Structure 1
Amino acid sequence: MQPHRQPPPAPQPGARLLALLLLLVLQAAAAPAASGGPEDPRQPLDAGPSRGLLQRAARAALHFLNFRSGSPSALRVLAAVQEGRARINPKEGCKVDLVFSTERYNSESLFEGEERLGKCSARVFFKNQKPRPAINVTCTRLLEKQKRQQEDYLLYKQMKQLKTPLDVVSIPDSHGHIDPSLRPIWDLAFLGSSYVMWEKTTQFLHYYLAQLTSVKQWVRK
């Protein structure tokens, strides 16, 4: 008698969305942005951190959080930094502890009764000679898993039902406008570039997604 085998589990919406993301060729122009003048790397331990350093640390933590979530529906951006301190070791790097508030990247998709702002605490370690900062971050008021999967699945169905595959140039356009129908593509690109923005951020420099120069979609038959 053959042992009874359970049927394989059905793929989750997140897996479908990941497959869709892999089918999109996104050539994104990521632009470096400096905040104010460069900090002096020789400043002493426990020096009062500059506003720019705290903001770069908070954004690095959010890029990491967005990358780990793997969901365009769960994207968060920085609202404000409440407090923070930095400890600098010239031999090891810069360690930043901070508390900051966040908001949903696409505020138009808020659920009824959902709080707009959330709160995070993080430790960001900009290590010398390392490709990306080490992040430990905890946040509140994140989108519930069930709601996140629901939104992701609706996006997956929307993209799958397109009769004509997307073939778009420049999002946003030369005037900075993003057509509402293309907003999901921009959100996917923001999610897809979050790893690069996390990896490239340093205590002196941060990156942001400036423009998609080409989007091409292949529809599997």
Structure 2
Amino acid sequence: MGLRIVVFLAVLVVVTGSPTVTIRPEAASEDTSAHPNSLPETAEETETPGQQKVSIVEELEEDVMATGKLNPNHYPAQRAAKVVQHYLNTRYGSPYRVFFLHRVHSGNAEDVADSGRKYQLEISVQDLISTNTEKCSAEVLFPGGEQQRSPHVQASCEELRKIDTKAQEEALYQQYKTNPSLLAAHLPDSYGHINPEMKPFWHLGAVASSFIMLNESTENTLFNMAQVANVTQLATENDQLRFDYHILLHEMVSQDIIHWKLQVSWSPSGGVKVLQMEQLPHCHHCEKPPNTN
């Protein structure tokens, strides 16, 4: 019995005092950033879109710059795969198509002379709305050098691109192009709910946030959208609907909540475009996202 107590105490000291305890990408620590309208980290985390399941997983710190075959569940492969998610949203996302990472099946990393580090991935990507899932091959290159540059991505997910949302998109476009009063909403509202007719604008915010996350991603970051704080419709120009968004991002490595202001345009024919993006100053009293009970 005495020996068991000594061993237990030794393990307790290691777990509570070790700097090598990390938070798995698919199971971020529970904090004030977890919010009813946050995007799931992976499709397997939730049965209800937007509801995060969170837990703390203790593991030994691994080499972020590992080369060769990667563990699909560890940070290097997960970070690169999340970049693919953001890339697909910037290319093919809409108020009725939002892609997110379902699973990493395999990954490999290699140093590329004078270019950076290249990741070869086999992943599954799911559409949040239709729940269609496709296995895709992808390549992510994180440029080398001291100056931060956006990753270069190539991905083949042909079936997800074929999801037909033309009818819904055209109906939404016509409704808000001719609407005499401009949209202004908090997503969710002060009671934590999103009206079903407002969900396309939450989806549009999620797609727009991928433009930021793709631009800001490195091998040392892991972003997820925490919340769409609010959206305001602007006057239409050039047949494009335009919106101002205030979006909160969760940087899971540092656990920071980062506020961004975006101006977004969208039409069925023109797709989603981010016209302006601005990171707002860090706000200590804003650590807890608005509308969170």
Q: Is TM more than 0.5 here?
A: yes
Q: Distance in 2 between matches of 1:127 and 1:95?
A: 9
1:135 alignment partner, one of 153, 165, 170: 153
Deviations 1:26-82 (A, max 9, x none): xxxx99x9x988753564x42635622212211211211211125333321111111
> What residue is the counterpart of 1:189 in the other structure?
205
Cα distance in 2 for residues equivalent to 1:135 and 1:218: 32
Unaligned runs of 5+ in 1: 1-29, 111-115
Change (3 A) 1:138 1:162: same
Q: Name the CA shift for 1:104/1:37 in 2 (closer, same or farther; >3 Å).
A: farther
Whether 2:177 is the aligned partner of 1:160: answer yes
Distance 1:149 1:189 in 2: 19
C-alpha displacement of 1:90 = 8.7
* Alignment partner of 1:83 is 2:101: no
Distance across 2 between alignment mates of 1:119 and 1:140: 10
> Using the alignment, how far apart are the partners of 2:63 and 2:219 within structure 1?
11
Mark the CA change 1:64 to 1:138 in structure 2 (over 3 Å): closer, same or farther.
same
Query: Is residue 209 of structure 1 aligned with residue 225 of structure 2?
Result: yes
- Aligned amino acid, residue 82 of structure 1: H
Q: Secondary structure at the match of 2:70?
A: coil
Quote the Cα distance in structure 1 between the aligned partners of 2:104 and 2:215: 21
Give me the whole-angstrom Cα distance separating, in 2, the residues matched to 1:59 and 1:176.
27
Distance 2:236 2:101 in 1: 37
Gaps of 5+ in 2: 1-37, 42-56, 238-293
Give the equivalent residue in structure 1 for 2:77.
54
The 2-side partners of 1:64 and 1:189 are apart by 15
| Aligned residue among 166, 188, 199 for 1:149 | 166
Give TM-score, length-normalised by structure 2. 0.52
Change (3 A) 1:143 1:126: closer
Aligned counterparts of 2:180 and 2:106: Cα–Cα separation in 1: 50
1:1-221 to 2 correspondences below 5 Å: 40=63, 43=66, 45-46=67-68, 48-49=70-71, 51-88=74-111, 92-107=115-130, 116-128=132-144, 129-144=147-162, 147-169=164-186, 171-173=187-189, 177-220=193-236
Secondary structure of the residue aligned to 1:153 is: helix
Instruction: State the alpha-carbon separation in 1 of the partners of residues 70 and 185 from structure 2.
Output: 46
AA matched with 2:122: V
CA 1:80–1:41 in 2, change beyond 3 Å: closer, same or farther?
Answer: closer
Report how many aligned residue pairs link the two structures: 180
TM-score, normalised relative to structure 1: 0.67
SS of structure 2 residue aligned to 1:141 = helix
Note closer, same or farther for the CA distance 1:41–1:103 as it changes in structure 2 (3 Å cut).
closer
Structure with greater proportional helix content: 1
Q: Give the % identical residues.
A: 31
RMSD between aligned residues: 3.2
